[in-house]
Every structure is written in structure tokens, then in C-alpha cells.
Chain A
Amino acid sequence: MRFRGKAHKFGNDVNTDYIISGKYKFKTLDMKELARHVMEDLDPDFYGKVSRGDFIVAGTNFGCGSSREQAPLAIKYADVSAVLAKSFARIFYRNCINTGLPVVECDTDLIEGGDELEVDLAGGVIRNLSRGIDIPIKPLPGVMIKILNDGGLAAHFRKHGGFNLD
């Protein structure tokens, strides 16, 4: 998987309330509608600024807070292709893998807002085209690669009739 787009930069500890506020998520299963409010409390214009394929780039502990799967789904439905952060909160991380939103752990100090990036998941590298530097990606655990390769947990279950991770 390879993606190209612009970086939108955020700080540390971006929690799931900021990604999608509880006041919206309880109301609907329409993810396209939720996506319009993604990151709204941190940047009210975010949805308007994102172009298809862009990246959310953040510091440590991205996705902390609630277990709402609406958070990765709202990001995905806003046409963001991947989230890059120094580290992720674990429930959020699992939810991303399960719903098929790529998450990448890397040194995001090497990326500024507005930088043009190419993320090459298979090759394990991010090319910062604006700065001409390559940033290595921390590899995913084997179980997660299996689930992602099957297309998320639902597809994994359809294929194997349950967990098949050995």
C-alpha cells in the first residue's frame, strides 16, 4: 500500500473526543456525516482543508480516550489515507487495524504541516518530498499484518469463520 498527500499536523495526546465529539457520535451510524465534524474542536476548518489522500500527523499517544470506533471511521470517511504519529493509544490502534485505517508509528518531528509525503507501507518508509528525507516506519506486529491483509477483522472472520492468527 502506497499513499501520497499533504500532512496536517497536530500535537500530543489527541483524544477521541477531539477526533469526533461524543455529541455527534451517539446520534448516527452515517459515517460520512460524522466525518464532517472530524477534528472539529482542534481545528474547526479541518474537514474543509483535507484533500483525498492527505495524512494526519501527530505526536505521542494519538487516539487516547474512549473506545469509540467512530474515531478511526470518521477519519477514514474524511478521505484521510493514514495517520502518522510517534505513538498511539492501544484501543485506537486496534480499532484502526480492525476497520482498515493504516496507522504508522514514526518520528513525526521530521514532518511539518503542509509537507508533501509519500507513505510506502510495504517498503516500510515515508518519503518527505518537501524536505527530501526518508523516515523509517516501525513495523507492525504479525497478528495485525494478518488482519490488515485480510481487509480488517470482519473480513478475517468471514474468511476463517473466527480467529485464525497462529
Chain B
Amino acid sequence: MGQTIIEKILSAHSGQQVYANDIVVARVDFIMGQDGTSPLAIRAFEDMGGRDVFDRERVAFVIDHSAPSPNEGVSALHKLMREFARAKGFRLYDIGEGVCHQLIPESGMVGPGSLVIGADSHTCTYGALNAFSTGVGSTDLAGGLISGRMWFKVPESFKFALHGVLPPGVYAKDLILYLIGDVTADGATYMSAEYTGEAVAAMSMEGRFTMANMAIEMGAKAGLMEADEKTFRWLDRFTGRSFNPASPDADAVYARVKEYDVSRLEPQVARPHRVDNVCPVGEVAGTPIQQAVIGTCTNGRLEDLRIAAGILRGKKINPEVRLIVAPASKTVYLDAMREGIIQDLVEAGAAVVTPGCGPCVGTHNGVPSDGENVISTANRNFKGRMGNSKAFIYLASPATVAASALTGMITDPREFVK
């Protein structure tokens, strides 16, 4: 019987032929924890009687959610993480290195066919590299750190066949927002989303990371795609390792299949307070905004900053707007500097903050005030997400956010994109 991508990866890591709904205990290739979840995992590790991590090369902690620390409570937790990582001898990415979901792919330890768990729900991002990577809680993470294994129910797969080519001014972010709006926040609960078709093939790696990143926003356990020569070219910069890509069989079984033609898609916006509350930008155009955010594990990569700089270069943002930019990693930051992108953004009026999560999760770096509207390239707009439950968050592509920062209201970016 044919297998989907996820069935193949879980088979390879459990030493048996498995299919949807089987329960397996599988070998894990890499384990990641961030500063919101690792402290509890350390506690669970001790509670489980753990002594060493299963393989110090295959574990990393990242301090990105509140980096640098905004208060002494957080500082104590960061210290706990640093001490634990040092004692066990594995790598910790400290403040300024970037967001976990950019750093782990850049580490070169993860690639096609890998199996990764991370104590962060957007761990599904590495599906762009054809890895099965998924978010777990702190106790699961501790179990993985000790044993190098994890139990999984093999998910059913949901195939998104994406035909056609995205029009100018319309990006992977618009497409994934559209798909989430279409299938809703629990449309793929516990499934593995498999993206395929010409639209995916034509997409940059940055765009693919965005697509995989937001799979969780429709409830999916993973957001996967096949590896191709773009994938390997991207990896070549970071690693010489070889991987075992997984492609679906022609007779693989899917629980659901949906076909889309993307060639007439418009820029999309997710309105407060739900990620699946999606509409074409025209329906909300003109809504005044006070804060704009470009960054996060969804859209803080070089291409995203480049698109924003393309719109803002030589102009000034609207005086009523604060624009916050958080590069996804130090590598992205340095690349953007070399290209003059950071210069362009700062001259246009952006405040660039430390590579990391930035203001995404409301710990610091730009908490909005009561009644304010924020437009952001992030992946979640839940009430209170950015630290104030009386603010309103709209999600959009870097182009839409940049265009909106320029005009002071939600704006269709297509008039600014040649």
C-alpha cells in the first residue's frame, strides 16, 4: 500500500511499515526547546530522574521569546536554561541569535526526511525542508531529551494541490492565510498537511517556510512538502550532511484532498481575533493602524525584509505609525545589512529590534495600547497575543504590512509592487 510523506518518515524512524492511525514509538533526529517552554522541561527532566541528554549534538535550547530579558523573573529562567545546557554539554543559542524556527534549519542538523520535536507549536516550520517536525509540550520534550524517542499517532494526510503561479504582489503568506480561512482553524486537526503543485515548486524557500509554519493554525500536526533542488541549494549553505528525502507514493491514501488555482489570488488579511477570519485586503483597506510589525518565524527572513525594503526605500512611514522590524536570525540580519536593506528600513522610520520573536507574543518589544490596531506579519492574532487584550491584530504579508506602514492604514500593496 502506498504511503504519504509522513507515513514514510515515521516508518523510517520506527523500523516498521506504518500507516495513518497506527501508534509508534519513533527515533528522533533533533530536539529543540525555547525559553517559554524549556524551564518546565528541565523540571520534568529532573522529575523523570534524567541524568544526561540522549545525544548532545542533537539537542539545542534557544532564548528567543523574551530576548534580551525584560525582567528579573525571565532572567532567572534564562539562567536556569544556560546552566542546564552547560551542565549537559549541548548547544544554547543565546539572545541575539534569532528565532528558534530559523536557527534550527540554519543549524544544518535538520533536513529532508528528518524527524524533529520542539517545545513550540510552530516547530512544524521545518516541513518546508521535507522534515516531519512537530510541537510538543515540556513533559514530552523531557521524555525526548532522555530517551531520544517519542510516541506518535501517525496522522492522516490532507493534500493541498496548489496549481498556477501567484500574481505579483501576492505571496506565500497570502496563500496560507487564504487556505486557513478556507478550511478554518480546526480544518486539519491532527492531520499532516501536504502541500504540492506548481505554486509550491515556484515558491522560494522563504515562502515554503511561511507555508509550513502556519500549518498549525489549521490544527495540523505538520505542514510538509517534497524536497527539490531549491531545498538542497538552501541546505548547502549550512551543512554538508546528507539526508533521506521522503516523497509520497502515487497510490498514497489521503483523508482529504483540496485543489486550488492560485493564479487569481489577492492579498489576504486575517482580521481580529482569529487567524481563520480571513478576507481579501480590499475589505479592510482604509482601517487606520498605529503599529506595524515585520518579523517572526513566519515572515522575518531575508526575502521578507527585502520585499518590505522594496516598498519603503526612499520614503518615510506615516507619522502615526510605529514600525517594528525583527530579523529572524543574526544571519538574516547580517545578510540584510550587506544588501543595504536595514539601512533602507531604518531610514524609512523602522525600529529594528534584536533578532528573535520580537513583539509577537507580548512579552516586550512593542506591546500595543488599548484600542490600537496592529498589522503584523506574524502567525497569530488572538486577543491579548501581543500583551494587550484591548488591542486588535491584523495579519498580512510583509508587502501589505510595509504598504500599510507607509499610508497609516491597511493598504493593498499591489500598487507599490512593480
Which residues of A line the B interface, CB within 8 A? 13, 15, 17-18, 21-23, 25-29, 41, 60-61, 64-70, 72-73, 87, 89-91, 94-95, 98-99, 141-143, 152-154, 157-158, 162-163, 165-166
Contacts and interface: CB of A to CB of B under 8 A. Distances in A.
B143 A90 contact: no
B120 interface: yes
B363 A22 contact: yes
B43 A153 contact: no
9 contacts: A15-B380, A17-B382, A61-B185, A61-B219, A91-B135, A98-B137, A162-B146, A162-B149, A165-B151
Given A15-B382, A18-B382, A64 B36 contact: no
Interface residues of B, number: 54
Contact of A60 (B48, B186, B362): B186
Interface in B362-394: 362-363, 367, 380, 382-385, 387, 389
B72 to A, nearest CB: 9
B68 to A, nearest CB: 13
A154 B186 contact: no
Given A17-B384, A26-B65, A29-B39, A67 B121 contact: yes
Contacts of A142: 23
B40 A29 contact: yes
A150 B153 CA distance: 20
Mostly helix, strand, loop or mixed at chain B's interface? loop
B262 interface: no
Nearest to B186: A61
Contacts of A22: 36, 65, 361-363, 385, 387
A64 B37 contact: no
Contacts of B185: 13, 61, 64
Interface of B: 23, 25, 35-37, 39-40, 43-44, 47-50, 65-66, 71, 73-74, 77, 119-121, 123, 135-140, 142-143, 146-147, 149, 151, 153, 185-186, 189-190, 219, 221, 274, 361-363, 367, 380, 382-385, 387, 389
A95 B139 contact: yes
A153 B37 contact: no
A17 B274 contact: no
Considering residues B135, B138, B382, which has the most beta carbons from chain A within 10 angstroms of its beta carbon? B382
Contacts of A165: 23, 25, 151
Given A91-B137, A95-B139, A162-B147, A26 B35 contact: yes
A87 B186 contact: yes
A18 B362 CA distance: 13
Contacts of B65: 22, 26
Nearest to A25: B36
Given A17-B384, A68-B37, 9 more contacts: A29-B39, A87-B189, A91-B137, A94-B137, A98-B140, A143-B23, A152-B139, A153-B140, A157-B146
